[in-house]
Amino acid sequence: MAFQKKHLYLNVLATAVSAAEKAGEIIRQVMSSGNLEIVLKGVNDPQTAADRSAQVTITSILSKRFPKLKIIAEEGDDIGKLDANIPDCIPSELVLKEKCPQNLTGLNEEDIVVWVDPLDGTNEFTKGLVEHVTVLIGLAVNGEAVGGVIHQPYCNSEKDNKSSHTGRSIWGTRGGNIGGLKVEVPPSDNLVLATTRSHSNELVETTIKAIGASQVLRVGGAGHKVILLLEGKAHCYVFPTPGCKRWDTCAPEAVLEAAGGILTDIFGKKYSYSNDTDYLNNDGVLAALDPKIHKRCLDILNLTNKT
């Protein structure tokens, strides 16, 4: 399907939002069926039928509309075989109404690398902690995270809340706008830190202690942690060890930056999202909505690393 070059980026992002919502429907269906079909990829690293089906849906929808996109997805090429029978979806009208930043006009499909985590927070999903689950689709240009969508299949897990059945999509473009939620600034009196729920170790605990947070939120999923930053429920997201991958952070980084925040490794460096980069985020993650808080945590981490 041909698009004018100046509209290509917004069309890809708008389609990604709709594809993420389709994936969210699949995730809810699999959970409702009670048959997760869990396979262990490694220690504490499960994969479910929802991961597999959601990935095929996302990659098929994007590839059908934009066949020259480079798509890198968590579950690999063997899982992500394209399915020609998956129906096309209508790109999000809300995204298409946005003004595209000048630096993202005139792109070709080959210029965009798409990083997909079809189900971020699988460990939590298998334990029924569905509010931790997100679908992540990040867009990168010239190795930089420029846009993305974080979709929550279960925005609110209370049974009497309709949003738990429809989910919500939070999307954004660096240098542009953020949509899907109202960004809230957290209170400044106490520092609230978000970190891993299931992958802690001595370094993580030492770092948390050094930062001196008043409250520590141990939750699953990179997408969920960044949402806590955007909602004003946490000041910083700290994970000072290898573990997460580029598909975990591309979309959250872009969406957070659209809101004025920052996501880096624990040394303050940006990760590359080029298609030939290493997938592993070897130097952890440090993120905050307020760049001053990011700098404060970074300074503490630098001192900790020197001792």
Q: Is 119 annotated to bind ligand?
A: yes
Answer yes or no: 206 catalytic. no
Single-letter residue type at 144: E
At 61 the three-state DSSP class reads helix
Tokens for 181? 């939620």
Q: Which of 51, 241, 264, 265 is catalytic?
A: 51
- Helix 246-258 to helix 222-230 angle (10° resolution) is 10
Tokens for 119? 């189900």
Report how far residue 240's alpha carbon sits from residue 229's, in angstroms, rounded to the nearest whole number: 17
Report how far residue 276's alpha carbon sits from residue 31's, in angstroms, rounded to the nearest whole number: 34
Q: Which of 15, 122, 195, 264 is catalytic?
A: 122
Report how far residue 228's alpha carbon sits from residue 195's, in angstroms, rounded to the nearest whole number: 11
What DSSP designation does 166 have? H
Q: Is 248 annotated to bind ligand?
A: yes
DSSP 14-60: HHHHHHHHHHHHHHHHHHHHT----EEEETTEEE-HHHHHHHHHHHH
Strand partners, 215: 192
Nearest to 99 by CA among 25, 10, 12: 10
Q: Is 117 annotated to bind ligand?
A: yes
Single-letter residue type at 262: I
Answer yes or no: 122 catalytic. yes
Residue 299 sits at φ, ψ, to 5 deg, of -60, -40
Active site residues: 51, 122
Q: Binding site for Mg(2+): which residues?
A: 74, 117, 119-120, 248
Q: Binding site: which residues?
A: 74, 117, 119-120, 248
